[in-house]
A and B are shown apart, each in its own frame.
Chain A
Amino acid sequence: MIAINNLHKSFGDLEVLKGIDLNVQKGQAVVVIGPSGSGKTTFLRCLNILETPTAGTVAIDGHMADFSKPLPKKQIMEFRKQSAMVFQHYNLFPHMTALENVMEGPVTVQKIDRAEARAKAEELLTKVGLKEKMNEYPFQLSGGQQQRVGIARALALEPKVMLFDEPTSALDPELVGEVLQVMKELAQEGMTMVVVTHEMRFAKGVADEVLFMDAGRIIERGTPQEIFDHPKEERTKQFLNLIQNADTI
């Protein structure tokens, strides 16, 4: 489903991604962990071309983007359609209700009939447990509810891949579960997902594969058991130790 080859990204002189290679099979949930500044968010944003990689190729479901030369706008937009992003800070459109947020992509971009888009949006909001809140504006919703609208908005475009950028980091602890639950259901339904997160329990319970990134590279990858129970690399061990220590303080 996703084939990434030698992906590089620099901001000026700072090289953030130093050659990422990755294949994700259809229906797989891949969780990316790593210390802050390791490049994991940049990596995810590159997959939706919210950052333009400096070199390398990404193919999603046969749509190939080669970043060694500048891409025409049209190709970028076509490539973006393959995936959809869920943001750390939700980034809902504040001037639209939950329903309008979810309908916006189908109506404005895909030119789907309003009534049809509305029915689909209602269905998605029901799925994320927000049927009762669909006419509320984002400021009237809790963080967890906003993020679930964010997921519904991304799903409305029927992307082949869902990208999650630390979707629970901005949430109060008691609201994290409701968002992870929705993500878990998605994974069980066979959605291909790439998730950047600090939620290790989610990684253990849901991920098919876990990647540990540090300093712009994938240091280690494997099943959750391999990474969490038998990490091979020293840096992975250090990182996991730090996280577990933080949990026990």
Chain B
Amino acid sequence: MYLNSIFTNPERLERLLDIAQSSFLPLLEGAIQYTIPLTLISFTIGLILATLTALARISTVKFFQIVARIYVSIIRGTPLLVQLSILFYGLPTVGITLEPFTAAILGFSLNVGAYASEVIRAAILSIPKGQWEAANTIGMSYSQALKRIILPQASRVSIPPLSNTFISLVKDTSLASFILVTEMFRRAQEIAAFNYEFLLLYSQAGLLYWIFCFLLSLVQGRLENRFDRYVSKA
């Protein structure tokens, strides 16, 4: 029906091309203003949070372990949309009002922190015990061993799963539209609400998300190569 109308009606085709062209910049603007910063900032904060959480999980202090477990359990056990809603629409009830962007950063960071912590924990545990011992025998403290010996090796192991988390995050930022952040998907909604070309605009937004994720997977490949320089190719 849709395709048919395009081919039978040149004016319709022209209108669609016009809209596609004129909405491209606003969509890209939404991406540059919000989608990309949201992703980068949340991922950075999330990674720090994840590393701390992973360390708490493998620590010998029971209290740290329990706090980390509860945090991961709550975040993984509730929908991201619900978490964002609580942060933005719920907290004002108790007197905490957050800007949409702030609420989004907070929500996504907490989310990445919980999911990535399991990745990092697994990566740390995958490093042979002999590496800790070698670090100890040359006199390193726990934090020196972690920083110089264990985490550099663990990061190599965690690149593929962390890339997954990162790519998921790019797409999850579209949920911020729900708490009024005018990121890319919300721009698409707004434009479509005005001209009713939902299929066109949502496809356009989808295409842009896909391009971003594709570029990211290229970066992942390069990172993997870089980290693999000290591993036998055999």
Contact = CB atoms under 8 A, between A and B. Distances in A.
Contacts of B138: 84, 104-105, 109, 153-154, 156-157
Given A50-B137, A77-B139, A87 B130 contact: yes
Interface in A76-104: 77, 80-81, 84-85, 87, 89, 91-96, 104
Nearest to B148: A108
Contact of A157 (B139, B144, B229): B139
B144 A108 contact: yes
Contact of A109 (B131, B144, B156): B144
A72 B134 CA distance: 20
- Identify whether the interface residues of B are mostly helix, strand, loop, or mixed: helix
Contacts of A85: 133-134, 137
B152 interface: yes
Contacts of A105: 138-140
Interface string B119-137: 0000000001011011011
A48 interface: yes
Interface residues of A, number: 28
Interface in B205-234: 229-232
A80 B232 contact: no
A141 B1 CA distance: 67
Interface in A106-124: 108-110
B185 to A, nearest CB: 40
Q: Which 9 A-B pairs have the closest CB atoms?
A: A105-B138, A91-B134, A91-B130, A109-B139, A139-B232, A85-B137, A137-B230, A95-B230, A95-B152
